[in-house]
Structure 1
Amino acid sequence: MKAAPFAYCRPDSVDEAVDVLAGGDAKVLAGGQSLVPVLAMRLGRPGTLVDITRLPGLDSLVVQDGQLHVGAAVRQRRVERSAEVAAVPLVARALPFVGHRELRSRGTVCGSLAHADPAAELPAVAACLGASVVVRGPGGERVVAAADFVTGAMTTAVGPDELVTGVRFPVAGAGEGFGFAELARRHGDFALAGVAVRVRGEAATLAAFGVSDRPVVRELTLDPDPTEAGLRPVTDALAAEVVDTDGDAHGSRGYRVRLLGVLAAREIVRAHREAHR
């Protein structure tokens, strides 16, 4: 199929882009790796596409004030290959799992957040780290906590007249450890289940994805020397609580519960060892 007819707008400023969005029936085009297939299958029929790829300031990638600032036009592949991403190890570990290299060469970090696919890696990583998403609208700029940003499957806290302009990931501090894992049928496929983990001292933050309509974040208190076997009762119970998908042809709910329990225990132990190394 081909996309339904639409108007194309390439604004010269963020304010102009917001004005076009405020007119209604418009969608933002950044990388297009999620939007273009939706248009091609006519699952979406916006009247106007607002191309933000060349807007001044949205290509910023910098570590500043204890945060990694990623502009809305920054490609995933650029972040993956940058020196700056070393400041946020969890982002560096997750990016190679985002689609395929060719898709990451066009797709943007903020675009993945805004698309809010339940099986996407970056929304879970952002929620796990306590990142902040910067949004601009007619009323000015506001900052949304990543944990509150995704409100449901393919749904976010961004209004139809608002534009995501960037995301801020806190840089890793001393004594922090991280873990990331997912299982998919093939590399680049949507995850059947996945986890992002951050450990500080004996406190662990875990974000699960691919098992609900949005990333699910839980806080755990660990023993001084946790083991996978010792954690399994805890992670199995957590998985049984958070997995609310009915399953599909690729895996039942029970399979995802077991998978999440195994991945969570393994990555928590890995992150704890790294934090205490």
Structure 2
Amino acid sequence: MYNFNYSKAGSADAASQALASAEDGKVMAGGMTLIPTLKQRLAAPSDVIDLAGANLSGIRKDGNAIVIGAMTTHATVAGSADVKSAIPALADLADGIGDPAVRNRGTIGGSIANNDPAADYPSALVALGATVKTTKREIAADDFFTGMFETALDEDEIITEVSFPVPEKAGYAKFPNPASRYAIVGSFVAKTAGGVRVAITGAAPCVFRVQAWEDALSSNFSADAISDGAVDAGSMNADIHAGADYRAHLCGVMTKRAVAKAG
């Protein structure tokens, strides 16, 4: 691990200011990605700004939405009575992230800001039509995730909370890596007043929607409506865990399971 300056921000705005003034600063939420990266000397930031004291955690109902603070841990989301009541699929997703140690340290804001292609939360944000709120603006989930480990965030912009509209029904299913619990392929399906949305994570460099399945499910919300061939294997990830063809096949399998779970 290289030397760096460490500071603990008292608010999101203070963290944003510290980040803007640093030569090469990094924000730390739960540290589940940043700390291993530093230990392996894959990054050498000049400053690490800790958000632990920034008062960004918590869950509340706001009209027809569930609003989750950026520093809220996965375990808190999984155990929240409000989340379980309004969007049980979101609680189910959070409960399947990593292991207990990761769930009790990792945060929703850190996960979506990192945008690992195999992370679970991006599929929930996109399928539910969530809004990411930052120190500068509000960003629709469809516009937030821009590529592998890339988002629409500016360099000095920090996530403060995420607002999830409550759907009519939703379900999440993933094929997890048996060691890390990352999604080899995960599918989040949500039926909303505006129609059905299907978001796939783990399969490609970035979360994506499947229009053909959304159209089919809008007419017939049933696993039988999911047809093969809607996902192009040529755009899938391929690694030691799963080939591109296998991931393309799993997209359909996981979407069928997500629809069944949504009921």
Cα distance, 1:188 vs. partner? 4.0
Cα distance, 1:268 vs. partner? 2.7
| Matched ranges for 1:1-277 at <5 A | 3-24=1-22, 25-56=24-55, 58-86=56-84, 87-136=86-135, 141-172=136-167, 176-186=168-178, 188-200=180-192, 203-219=195-211, 220-222=214-216, 227-228=222-223, 230-233=224-227, 236-240=228-232, 244-271=235-262, 274=263
Cα distance, 1:12 vs. partner? 2.5
2:173 alignment partner, SS class: strand
Cα distance, 1:225 vs. partner? 5.0
AA aligned to 2:40 is M
AA aligned to 2:173 is A
> Per the alignment, do residues 12 and 199 of structure 1 end up closer, same or farther by CA in structure 2, a change over 3 Å counting?
closer
AA aligned to 1:264 is T
Do the aligned residues in 2 keep the contact of 1:77 with 1:105 (CA within 8 Å)? yes
Q: Any idea what the Cα deviations from partners look like across 1:183-242, whole Å, max 9, x if unmatched?
A: 1231643221110001248942100011111110134233765654x4343xx222226x
Do the aligned residues in 1 keep the contact of 2:210 with 2:231 (CA within 8 Å)? no
TM-score by length of 1: 0.86
User: Which is higher, the Rg of structure 1 or of structure 2?
Assistant: 1
2:6 alignment partner, SS class: strand
Do the aligned residues in 2 keep the contact of 1:71 with 1:166 (CA within 8 Å)? yes
AA aligned to 1:162 is E
Cα distance, 1:245 vs. partner? 2.7
Cα distance, 1:59 vs. partner? 2.0
Cα distance, 1:97 vs. partner? 1.7
AA aligned to 2:157 is E
In structure 2, runs of 5+ residues without a counterpart are none
AA aligned to 1:217 is R
Do the aligned residues in 2 keep the contact of 1:31 with 1:107 (CA within 8 Å)? yes
> Per the alignment, do residues 144 and 203 of structure 1 end up closer, same or farther by CA in structure 2, a change over 3 Å counting?
closer
AA aligned to 2:253 is V
Do the aligned residues in 2 keep the contact of 1:62 with 1:69 (CA within 8 Å)? yes
> Per the alignment, do residues 269 and 77 of structure 1 end up closer, same or farther by CA in structure 2, a change over 3 Å counting?
closer
Cα distance, 1:151 vs. partner? 0.9
Do the aligned residues in 2 keep the contact of 1:199 with 1:268 (CA within 8 Å)? no
> Per the alignment, do residues 40 and 13 of structure 1 end up closer, same or farther by CA in structure 2, a change over 3 Å counting?
same
Q: Any idea what the Cα deviations from partners look like across 1:76-124, whole Å, max 9, x if unmatched?
A: 1112112121222221121122111110101111111111001110011
Tell me how far apart the structure 2 counterparts of residues 15 and 258 of structure 1 sit (CA, whole Å): 44
Cα distance, 1:68 vs. partner? 1.4
1:221 alignment partner, SS class: helix
C-alpha root-mean-square deviation of aligned residues, in Å? 2.1
Do the aligned residues in 2 keep the contact of 1:76 with 1:95 (CA within 8 Å)? yes
Tell me how far apart the structure 2 counterparts of residues 202 and 59 of structure 1 sit (CA, whole Å): 30
Do the aligned residues in 2 keep the contact of 1:97 with 1:187 (CA within 8 Å)? no
Do the aligned residues in 2 keep the contact of 1:203 with 1:222 (CA within 8 Å)? no
Tell me how far apart the structure 1 counterparts of residues 178 and 192 of structure 2 sit (CA, whole Å): 32
Tell me the matched-pair count: 258
AA aligned to 1:41 is Q
Do the aligned residues in 2 keep the contact of 1:80 with 1:92 (CA within 8 Å)? yes
> Per the alignment, do residues 60 and 96 of structure 1 end up closer, same or farther by CA in structure 2, a change over 3 Å counting?
closer
